[in-house]
Amino acid sequence: MSELFPIRKIQILAEEVRHDGGQPPSEPVWRGAAMAVVKNPYVGEYVGDFAPASDELQSLGEHLGGRLVEALGGSERIDGYGKGAIVGSSGEIEHGAIWHIPGGTGMRAALGKGEAIVPSTKKVGAMGARLDVPLTHLEWSYVGSHYDAIEVGIGDAPRYDEIVFILAMGVGGRVHARLAGGFTIEDRGADGVPV
C-alpha cells in the first residue's frame, strides 16, 4: 500500500463513554482513533518539498478513515473529528505537519462529509509518547458540546525513525456537555453568530 511510508503496524481504538459522574445519557458517546506507524523517509536530511508525499498520505488517510468509520458503526453516526502525528526523535516537527492536509482530506473522503476544519496537533516524542488529539464538530467548529480530545499512543512507537499518523473521530460530544455560552449546530447561520 505504501512506498514512501512503509507501514509497520496499524492500531484502531474505540471507546464507549457511558457517563462521567452524571446520569447516563440516552445514548453513549463514542470516541475512536486509527493510528498507522510508518517509516519516516526524511530522517537524516533536510527536505524542502514534501509534495511527493501528498497522494500517498491521502490514500493512507482514506484507509485509516475507513477503518475507523467501520469501528465506530458507520459514517452516519459520526459527528466529530481530529488528527495528529507523533514524530520519532530523529525526525522534525515538520514531518508531522505533512499529515495535516492529506490526512484530513483522506478522512473526509472516507466519511463522505465534513465541512469544518479538521483540528490537529503534532509533536516530536520518544517511544511510547502520548498525544491529546483535539476533536470538534465536523460540520461547524463552533459547536461547544464537541470541544473534546482523545489521548492516544502506542507502547512501541514511534521508534526514532518512525512517525505515528493519527485520525480521530467522535459520535456525540462530551457525555455531559453543558458549556455556558456554547453554540449548537442549530445556531449556525443565525444573526450575530460566527461563521
Task: Please give the single-letter amino acid code of residue 170.
Answer: G
Domain count, the chain: 1
Contact indicator for 81, 107 with CB cutoff of 8 Å: yes
Domain-located, residue 194: no
- What end-to-end distance do the CA atoms of the chain give, in Å? 39
Q: Is the pLDDT of residue 173 over 60?
A: yes
Domain assignment present for residue 1? The answer is no
Q: What does the DSSP 8-state code read for residue 168? A: E
Answer yes or no: is 103 within a domain: yes
Residue 1 pLDDT > 70:
no
Tell me if 57 is assigned to some domain: yes
- What is the reported pLDDT for 2? 58
Residue 29 lies in a domain: yes
158: domain CATH number? 3.30.1330.110
C-beta separation of 38 from 157 below 8 A: no
Q: Which three cell numbers stand for residue 44?
A: 537524516
Q: Per the domain annotation, does 195 fall within a domain?
A: no
The per-residue pLDDT of the chain, averaged, comes to 95
Residue 192 lies in a domain: no
- Answer whether residue 193 is part of any domain: no
Report phi then psi at 120, rounded to 5: -150, 160
Range of the domain at 31: 7-187
Q: pLDDT digit string (tens) for 51-99?
A: 999 999 999 999 999 999 999 999 999 999 999 999 999 999 999 999 9
